[in-house]
Every structure is written in C-alpha cells, then in structure tokens.
Structure 1
Amino acid sequence: MTQTDELIQEMCDNDPNFLQMYNEDSVRVEIAIQIRTLRDSKKLSANEFAKKVNLPVSRIKDIESCNASVDIDELSKIANVFNHKLSIELEEL
C-alpha cells in the first residue's frame, strides 16, 4: 500500500463522507483526462473540439479542468462524433 493509499484509508476512516467525495472527484478527473487526451490526439483546439461535438467551448473547458460534471448524453455525443464506444463500468470498492 502506498503512502497515498494509506492517507486515503485514514481519511475514509475519519470521515464517512470522504470516500464518496473521493470517488466522485476521481471519476471527474478520469473523464477530464480522457476528453483532453482525445482532443489532443485529434490535434484540435478547445474551440474546434466544441464545434465538432456541438457544445459551448466553455463547457469543454469546464469538463477538462474538472470544474463541472459531465452527463451521459454529453459523453455519448463526444464518443459518437469521434467514432468511439462509450463504456461505463461499476466496480465494487
């Protein structure tokens, strides 16, 4: 177990709400990374990407900077535009 894992475990033990907050934030970060990676792989600016997926550029920037949650419809739209399959997996903690 890494030092980070130990700290997360300690925080979970001390605060029953911490695990939920941590899990929600980690999902938001993972989605942000995947969206940014996709955009970079297509060599698109945020403006170009936003136009392709028909979302405001401010929305793309908020998603990529983890300042907003993204909904399933938005993820599905992004996946379809770039010929990707959207998959969601629930894992036991």
Structure 2
Amino acid sequence: MSKIDEYACERSMRDSEFAKEAVQDNMNLEVAVQVRDLRNSLGLSQREFAKLVGKPQSTIARIESGSMNASTKLLSEIAQATNQKVKIEFMSI
C-alpha cells in the first residue's frame, strides 16, 4: 500500500465526509478510465467522440479527468451512441 493509500485509509476512518468523497472520487476515476478506453478503442479524439455522443468536448474532458460525476443517463447516452451497453455492478468491499 502506498503512503497516499495509507493516508486515505487512516483519514477515512477518522472523517466520514472524507471517506464519502474518497469513494465518489474513486468511482469517477473508474468511469474516466472506462470512457477514455472506449474512446481510444474507437480511434477518436475527444472532439470526435463528443460529436458522436452529442455532447460538448468539455463534457468528455471532464468525464475523462475524473472531475465530473457522470450520471447513469449520460453513460447510457454514451453507450447507445457507441453501440455498447452499460453494466452497473455492486461488489463487496
């Protein structure tokens, strides 16, 4: 475990608000990687991908940076535009 992981774990135990934000940030980063990987697999730039899904390029950039909490509606729109499906899964931690 890295020092940053240790810090996050320690702080999460002491600060429930930090723990909630850390979980949300982690989900945003997982979505960011998935969307970027999808775009790259299609061989598209952010601008081309945004046009395909009918969103501004800035929205795609925010998703891919992990700074945006993408809704299931938005992810569904991306999936439909790219002939994919969204799979949501609950997993034990």
TM-score normalised by L of structure 1: 0.86
**Amino acid in structure 2 at the alignment position of 1:15:** D
The aligned counterpart of 1:55 is 55
- 2:26 aligned with 1:41: no
Matching of residues 1-40 of structure 1 within 5 Å: 2-3=1-2, 5-40=5-40
| Number of aligned positions between the proteins | 92
1:36-68 alpha-carbon deviations (Å, 9 max, x no partner): 111111110111100110001111111111222
The aligned counterpart of 2:76 is 76
1:5-49 alpha-carbon deviations (Å, 9 max, x no partner): 543331122212121111100000000111011111111011110
% identical equivalent positions: 37
Moved over 2 A (4+): 2-9, 90-93
Paired with 2:21 and 2:80, the residues of 1 have a C-alpha distance of: 30
TM-score normalised by L of structure 2: 0.86
CA RMSD of aligned residues (A): 1.5
Q: Which runs of 5+ in 2 are unaligned?
A: none
Distance 1:6 1:67, change over 3 A: closer
